[in-house]
Structure 1
Amino acid sequence: MNINLSQKRILITGGAGFIGSNLCEELLKRNNKVICLDNFSTGKRENLSTIINNTNFTLIEGDIRNLEDCLKASKEVDYVLHQAALGSVPRSIKDPITTNDVNINGFLNMLLASRDSGVKRFVYAASSSTYGDSESLPKVEDVIGKPLSPYAITKYVNELYADVFSKTYGLETVGLRYFNVFGRKQDPNGAYAAVIPKFVSQLMNLESPTIYGDGNYSRDFTYIDNVIQANILSLVADVRAVNTVYNVAYGDRNTLNDLMSYLKEYLSEYNPKIKDVEIIYGSKRQGDIPHSHACINKAKELLKYNPQFSLQKGLKEAIKWYWGNL
């Protein structure tokens, strides 16, 4: 990825999380000063172990729900990559108040802090959940439906707030609608673990994974390096490309049954017994979108986004990492 981005001060909220920590590492490699703001509610200190002693890295333990923490972290910062959020549709259904507090109040605090600190550009993690009950495929940025979960509502409100701050205060914003991101450092444990690391961990332990529904729901699974590319491109993009939202995906879709077949095939190279693990099918989960497939033409045109990792290529990389780290 030949992009000139160095000698900047960049704040990454949620920088100890899966996506955030990968962004921290990449931006430090590019000779930037990186500030990480995290309260470690879902982020992990071990995600920062390779960079914690880097002289260009600063860790601020704080909460985006606290405006003072946001102002402290944003001081003299050039750019913000806002990754901090409470993810998971099921978690938001179980506890909508906390999800709202973190994802909306925390987001607003970061917008205010960025405005007041003179931040040049605010790039934030949006979500494909915003498409809600829209049945059109592939998903195009301007065509959305009604949200299907409290989490989806919060991510849509983020987009509305960002748009208002752009128009009212002149803050440059870019929203990146992530589609089912996976890869190294994604946590396989916990009640709200993402599907790929959870399946990988279960298969490695010769445990039967559960697919909710008949396995024909489809997703545009997106490897972490594609997401890193989109974030960096958003920071350096021409001003004509800001104050809008983009789909960040590979631009393809695979069913959960397809996913499981790939996982068993690739993991069996490490342990042949994995190919014989039985798969369990459960009932559909409330709030799940049936199909997710992104049109990435807008990001390709305006951000020069060019994802390099298909699901299969990304899975091979992710499995290699999990096999050495779980």
Structure 2
Amino acid sequence: MLRRGLAKGVLLGGAALSARHAAAQPAFPALTRIVIPFAAGGPIDLIGRLIAERLGGELGGHVIVDNRPGANGVVAGQFVARAPADGSVLLFGAVSTFAITPHLETNIAYDPRRFAPVTRVVVSGSGLAVNARIPADTVPALVAWVRGRGEPLRLASNGMGSISHAWLELFRRATGLDILHVPYRGAGPALVDLAGGQVDGLFADLLVQLPLVRDGRAKILGLIGPDRHPAQPQIPTIREQGFPGVDGLSWSGIVAPPDTPPAVTARIAAAIAKALAEPAIRERLATFGSAPAPMPPAEFGAYLESETAFWARVIRENRITLE
């Protein structure tokens, strides 16, 4: 009789605990929209779609990608800033979205600092790629070649005020080289002219550089940041080749509309971290030159603040503008 009563008590207690746990889990909408401030086919879009495929099952609903390019991310930012704070709309952007554009755009009708941080997603390898015909296989050799040639190094960027523009200016300061900045409207046309030799080089993520490297039309001389990237560990950093200061990692992350409850952001962050831990996802990301780098919401919030301060200083010291 005692055992039966004890067993009954355990079952009832377990049922009550399960009920409390279920009640603690925020109810998610049937549809979650991941808004991406870039056109389809780019690095952030590809990673976003990879994550969206896994999130539906974790959140108990359907997850789709919604591309809203325009105005350096402002179009997507304004849409998400006005969206319901219930987990139905998320903003998946790059470092430029959160930490660079807000310092350059003057017509932002929302405060980017009010977004609710969810998680960092990946850190992507990025570096300096040059045309394969340039007689230099290292950064010191490139610097010597430019100085001996007596002409400016023609470096492309994805556009004025882009992260590739910022890296270019940091490289100019680190090397003291005479550099001609050639801005383009996105990485696509810049890569075409890099392959054709109309420009000498381009700072960009490995994802967009590696196809040209595999085709023998470009070579990557050095990576940005303090450490080699796990996806391409054979490529040395620019810093270890004797030119420190070309920093600022390329990363992507997710935020939610202002005032989204912490329980909602925590659940989304946990679901994304679980997806990023899957071997198949990690292997797929490696082909993009990216590595999983999730963070809990509070840690990501602190990271956003430090990154915003870093890029504000870079923009100010190098007089970077959109014109």
* TM-score bracket, shorter-length normalisation: 0.3 to 0.5
TM-score by length of 2: 0.33
Q: Which has the higher contact order (CA 8 A, sep 6+)?
A: 2
- Which protein shows a greater Rg? 2
In terms of fraction of residues, the more helix-rich structure is 2
